[in-house]
Chain A
Amino acid sequence: MNNTGNLRQIALKARKRLLDMHYRAKAGHLGGNLSCLDALITLHHAVMQPDDRFVLSKGHAAGALYVTLWSQGKLRDEALDSFCLDNTTLPGHPSGPGIPGLMFSTGSLGHGPSLSAGLAMAARHKGDGRRIYCLCSDGEWQEGACWEALIFAAHQRLDNLTILIDQNGLQGFGTTLEVISCNDLAPRLAAFGATVKMADGHDHSSILEAVSAGEKDKPLIVILDTVKGRGLHYENRLESHYLPLSEDAYTEACAKINAELLS
């Protein structure tokens, strides 16, 4: 088990690798990768057991998943260097057998909660004790299928299911507040029968505390308060959803991370 100091170091290195990977590929979606990276590092290094399952419902955060797996030694540098290039095993939304532990191809929003509910039901039926973790975006909960899944998971009392929601407040073409008033998820989710906990999505201790607060017979949902594009020049701005990094922005961001690593 890693302590939070270790987790911070791992996350910083992963963040730097993520920037490098996206910069080389001139790939976008950096904002939503950076908002969830700390949670992915926490989950994979300090929460999940070897047999637990993870479903990346917000498939556009594939880069964050790849560098997390890289930080565990499950993906090599050569693989990351091919990210979003021709003949890669690491496309912009995860698919295929080249990604260790990947259960499903994701990228169309709203699928992960149902898939995870199925995995949770299978685990319960087998009695193998494994837990299922699923990461969604906040805008993703505009998809009706998410609510279908939550109704099902609550009814089936799938208390081996944890759904994390990366609440960075920004989606493709506006804030979640202005697009469709998606700013008060917690009471809505609780009303559907889930245990809901809040956490600072960039604080490893806060995430650890929240994911351990599940209740018997209820799925657990952890809402992660996060910053889209955290640490970049377009932090918390819509541009971070789609735009790749310029050379200047990349150099500046790497310098900041290097300074943090030394501090």
Chain B
Amino acid sequence: MQPEAPEYEQSSTARVLPPVQPRKLAKVPFVELADGRLQGVVSSGSDIARVYVSSVEAGSHDYSCSTNNNRPCGGAGSYGTCKHVDALITEAVVQYGLRPVARYLRVELPEEGEPGAWELRRAMNGTLNRTEAAVVFSRFLHHLSYLELPVSTSPMVELNWFPAAGVTA
């Protein structure tokens, strides 16, 4: 539902970000739509100290997957995406919803029926095109660093602009 324009434009607490849906983070701790890509970090299934940085580019749908130390993922090849990229897409759909992810990646979804993450993946036919893992990995570390911030007891008038959103928003 599109908000009424003048009311939205003249509201101090107009909502810009849609609510994030809860999801399990063990497999894919970090997902974002940024820098023209769906990108994120996928935990390795076999080595708890290893993570993969996976991404899909908007428009071309070219994908990339490598460890945070830039070692290419063996699963991602010219014949298709690896399980890390697949998991990234699945979790992004849980977090943001199917249509917002499709819109960002510029994927045409069928109007009819109830398409899911599978239809989204099938509609993409990019090829392997490795990108630097370092940028996304450092964004993930920055993301995690918020949990390390000390708690604060200062008054924060600013947060009156940020009321917690309910489900009925």
A, B assembled together: no
